[in-house]
Amino acid sequence: MSSRARAASIFVVDDQASTAYLARMMLEGAGFVVSEATQSKQAIEKIKASRFDALLLDLHLADMSALELLRQCPLRPPTVLTTGSVAEVSMDEAGSLGVVEVVRKPFTAVALVASINRAISRARRPEPADEASIYLDMPVVAEVRNVAGRIAGDRFVRKAIEDAEQLIDQAGHASKTMQSALWLEHVQALSGIAATMGARALKRAADDALNLKLSEIPARAAEYVDRFKDLLAKTAEQLVAVDNLLSERERACLKLIAQGLETPAIATRLGVTAKTVEYYIQKAGAKLEVRGRAAIVAQALRRGEI
């Protein structure tokens, strides 16, 4: 451990004094400066009054939940939750309150110290610079392009989006028919596709859903399906913005051209003006780096855009 890490200050909160003491001994043995509290009110006061590098917090305190405690602390250190069952933790909600790691009880010194070090490291890591990096893992997107080439890469990404849409629809159907095990299968496959295409936020949401207990799925499956749809739509928007994929309107125009429709008919079909249709076609041509309707449609077909 570096000298900077050894100087880090950790606040341990657990209503079981023996557990708090054990965690303190493990962390002090690794060179951290450790404070502890066994009561929620005392913990909140210390968090508000002090500046800790990380917080080790029991999920189930005697008088309030860990998440409620965090809500009462506007300025929170990066937090590691301890719990007997990791599946109890919804990382979507917990993450919004500063939770970056979860450690299962009973923990070992090695696991505890590693989690604390990761929490401190993540807190020092810069936040994503733009909206695209929230939804997309750009190195993964770039690697797809490098390995497959531009055209094959575009075809892969478009197919991955379609596969993700299909899996989300299937998960939606499974949730309506109360097939929890099947719902989990679809979500597992969605997580894999999201990872492969670099859909960072969608993968996080899918992984969060996989932590649900079977008994929780009937009540929360529909909520997650709506979230998946929203995140996939935002991911597709960012791919359009940063990776030059065609937008849905541009694709719609090209599909209708491929069917033999002219601008006035396309405008009527889409409920837009003829000038707007021409704008979409021009934008598609610029992205595909070709001119002329026939060439634009042909290139879009080669890239799997339509």
Q: What is the DSSP string of 63-131?
A: SSBHHHHHHT-SS---EEEEES-GGG--HHHHHHTTEEEEEESSPPHHHHHHHHHHHHHHHHSPPPSSH
| CATH 1.20.120 domain range(s) in the chain | 133-243
Q: Which residues in 192-223 are b (16+ Cβ under 10 Å) and which e?
A: ebbbebbbbbbbbbbbbbebbeeeebeeebee
Encode pLDDT of 263-286 as tens digits: 999 999 988 888 889 988 988 888
Class of the 248-302 domain?
Answer: mainly alpha
Please give the order of strands across the beta sheet that includes 33-37.
33-37, 9-13, 54-58, 79-83, 99-104
pLDDT in the model for residue 139: 64
Q: Which CATH number fits domain 3-124: 3.40.50.2300, 3.40.50.2020, 3.30.2350.10, 3.30.70.20?
A: 3.40.50.2300
Residue 149 above 90 pLDDT?
no
| Strand bridging mode 79-83 / 54-58 | parallel
pLDDT in the model for residue 171: 92
Q: Are 198 and 140 in contact (CB under 8 A)?
A: yes
Q: Is the dihedral of CA 64, 70, 74, 77 positive or negative?
A: positive
Residue 19 above 80 pLDDT?
yes
**Cα–Cα distance between 295 and 306 in angstroms, integer?**
13
| Strand bridging mode 9-13 / 33-37 | parallel
Encode pLDDT of 151-183 as tens digits: 666 777 778 888 999 999 999 999 888 899 899
Find the mean pLDDT for residues 214-241: 85
Q: Is the dihedral of CA 268, 272, 278, 280 positive or negative?
A: negative
What fold is seen in the domain 133-243?
Four Helix Bundle (Hemerythrin (Met), subunit A) (1.20.120)
Q: Are 58 and 13 in contact (CB under 8 A)?
A: yes
**Cα–Cα distance between 10 and 250 in angstroms, integer?**
53
| CATH 1.10.10.10 domain range(s) in the chain | 248-302
* Lowest-confidence region among 23-27, 78-82, 118-122, 219-223: 118-122
pLDDT in the model for residue 127: 47
- Dihedral angle over CA of 299, 300, 301, 304, nearest 10: 120
| CATH 3.40.50.2300 domain range(s) in the chain | 3-124
* The two structure tokens encoding residue 223: 């909520």
Supply the Cα-derived Rg of the chain in whole angstroms. 25
* Lowest-confidence region among 24-38, 75-89, 125-139: 125-139
Residue 146 above 70 pLDDT?
no
Report the interhelical angle of 138-148 vs 180-197 (nearest 10°).
70
Encode pLDDT of 294-306 as tens digits: 889 888 888 777 7
31: left (phi over 0), alpha (psi -120 to 50) or beta: left
* The two structure tokens encoding residue 114: 């590693």
